[in-house]
């Protein structure tokens, strides 16, 4: 079943479209809907979407700008435009953006919609067959790479396709990059887009010169996992710090953005990625990083004691600060309060247990400290949109 997002500012059009077609008979699940482009992008961050049906003209971010952002963030997602009589002037731009087809709002009927959907499903199936397995969106890929940085979410059979020729042969090292003085990133869509522009530029520079893989953590830091030896012969003798300093200068010149960075030691095995990431975090310049020493120590204790009854008071006592101070600085530096951070990490670990074990839901709930499985299921559904059993059966 392919997940669809419908973006249309007129609710009457959305309702009419929803009941005009038997979507599931065509292999399509009406996953979500949005009334504008900004809302659509927020929806796509929280759930897997395979194709988007969007109006061209909407207040705020229109359908064309939405399509540009989708292609930047989720290049495999297919796009169908809803158009009116006077929208055909946009057709050339829509085709350039890779729209799979148009639906003409004043005249579209069930047969026309079904024909476009069959075409879309066929394209998605071809994409799955030609893409390297598993088929993932850009957001899925980013989340998977993030899971490699934490011992509690580390997959059972880890793989970075870009590193198939490196792992266990010449090894790798990891770099964390942050904007200078960026204690807490603005959560607005505009700030996220600016951050993605920075990530894109870093990716363009380092993967061409050196190779490896670039992704981000919560729009706050860029992570680059690099092979021990660079791809380009011209920089094979360049020391890592000197190379990253040249990257810093390019970003300052091209984007007027100042960054700080830190580099881990070299590691041989992909299973050491959590260790490499923590080492790189601890090496960030103390006066320039957003996670100050107290927050780093608190995070490390949460990681060590995640399956225990971990509380703000216990952690504060362990690192010799008041619970009130830790609460304030944690929220400022991380962007979420301490209890939400613990719950998120516990639920992400529960995801791993649901995927990789046959344990009952109540057993998994107990493993992560929830004696009431109903409360655990409620938290899980609030965070991921579906109950634990449905998640396991997907």
User: Do 161 and 225 fall within a single domain?
Assistant: yes
Phi, psi of 297, deg, nearest 5: -65, -40
Q: How many domains does the chain have?
A: 3
Structural element, H or E, at residue 161:
none
- Considering the domain architecture, whether residues 124 and 188 belong to the same structural domain is answered as no
Residues 46 and 89 placed together within one structural domain of the fold: yes
In a domain, 303, yes or no: no
- Among 67-71, 112-116, 173-177, the minimum mean pLDDT is found in 67-71
Average predicted confidence (pLDDT) for the chain? 80
Secondary structure (3-state) at 82: strand
CATH number at residue 41: 3.40.50.2300
Answer whether residue 148 is part of any domain. no
CA 157-163-169 angle, to 5 degrees, is: 95
Q: Which pLDDT score, from 0 to 100, does residue 276 have?
A: 93
Question: SS in 3 state form for 46-68?
Answer: HCCCCEEEEECCCCCCCHHHHHH
Residue 322 inside a domain? The answer is no
Do 227 and 275 have their domain in common? yes
Tokens of 39: 């809302």
Written as one string, the DSSP assignment of 187-228 is -SHHHHHHHHHHHHHHHHHHHHHT--EEEEETTTEEEEEEES
Same domain, yes or no: 95 and 184 = no
Do residues 259 and 357 both lie within one domain?
no
**Pair 32, 111 in one domain:** yes
Which token pair is 175? Answer: 């770099």
pLDDT band at 216 (very low <50, low <70, confident <90, very high): very high
320 in a structural domain: no
Classify residue 137: in a domain, yes or no.
no
Measured between alpha carbons, how far is 57 from 66 in angstroms, rounded to an integer? 11
Residue-number span of the structural domain to which 179 is assigned:
156-290
Is residue 260 domain-shared with residue 225, that is, in the same domain?
Answer: yes
Q: Can you read off the two tokens belonging to residue 25?
A: 């008979």
Lowest-pLDDT range of 64-73, 198-207, 280-289: 280-289
| CATH number of the domain to which 249 belongs | 3.30.70.270
> What does the pLDDT look like over 310-353, one tens digit per residue?
889 888 888 777 788 788 878 877 778 888 888 888 888 888 88
d(CA 333, CA 361): 33
Report how far residue 383's alpha carbon sits from residue 381's, in angstroms, rounded to the nearest whole number. 5
CATH of the domain at 383: 1.10.10.60
In a domain, residue 81? The reply is yes
Is this structure's pTM higher than 0.85? no
- The verdict on 19 and 91 lying in the same domain is yes
Of the three residues 257, 290, 323, the one that is the final residue of a domain is 290
Q: What digits encode the pLDDT tens for the residues 228-241?
A: 888 766 666 678 88
């Amino acid at each position: 079943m392919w997940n669809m997002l419908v973006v249309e500012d007129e609710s009457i059009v959305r309702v009419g479209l929803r009941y005009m077609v038997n979507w599931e008979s065509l292999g399509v699940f009406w996953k979500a809907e949005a009334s504008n482009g900004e809302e659509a992008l927020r929806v796509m961050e929280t759930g897997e979407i395979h194709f988007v049906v969007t109006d061209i003209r909407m207040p705020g971010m229109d359908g064309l700008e939405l399509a540009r952002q989708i292609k930047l963030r989720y290049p495999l997602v297919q796009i169908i435009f809803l158009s009116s009589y006077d929208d055909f002037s946009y057709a050339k731009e829509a085709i350039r953006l890779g729209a799979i087809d148009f639906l003409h709002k004043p005249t579209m009927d069930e047969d026309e919609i079904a024909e476009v959907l069959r075409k879309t499903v066929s394209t998605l199936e071809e994409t799955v067959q030609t893409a390297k397995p598993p088929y993932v969106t850009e957001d899925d890929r980013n989340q998977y790479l993030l899971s490699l940085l934490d011992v509690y979410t580390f997959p059972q059979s880890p793989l970075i396709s870009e590193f198939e020729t490196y792992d266990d042969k010449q090894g790798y090292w990891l770099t964390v990059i942050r904007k200078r003085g960026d204690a807490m990133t603005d959560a607005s869509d505009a700030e996220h887009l600016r951050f993605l522009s920075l990530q894109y530029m870093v990716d363009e520079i380092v993967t061409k010169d050196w190779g490896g893989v670039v992704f981000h953590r919560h729009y706050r830091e860029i992570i680059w996992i690099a092979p021990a030896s660079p791809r380009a012969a011209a920089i094979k003798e360049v020391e890592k710090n000197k190379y990253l300093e040249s990257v810093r200068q390019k970003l300052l010149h091209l984007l007027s953005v100042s960054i700080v960075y830190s580099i881990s030691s070299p590691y041989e095995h992909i299973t050491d990625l959590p260790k490499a990431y923590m080492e790189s975090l601890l090496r960030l310049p103390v006066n320039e990083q957003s996670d100050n020493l107290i927050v780093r120590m608190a995070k490390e204790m949460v990681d060590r004691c995640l399956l225990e009854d971990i509380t703000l008071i216990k952690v504060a006592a362990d690192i010799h600060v008041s619970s009130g101070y830790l609460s304030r600085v944690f929220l400022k530096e991380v962007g979420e309060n301490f209890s939400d951070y613990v719950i998120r990490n516990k639920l992400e670990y529960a995801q791993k247990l649901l995927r990789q074990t046959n344990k009952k839901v109540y057993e998994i709930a107990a493993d992560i400290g929830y004696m009431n499985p109903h409360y655990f299921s409620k938290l899980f559904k609030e965070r991921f949109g579906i109950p634990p059993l449905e998640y396991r059966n997907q």
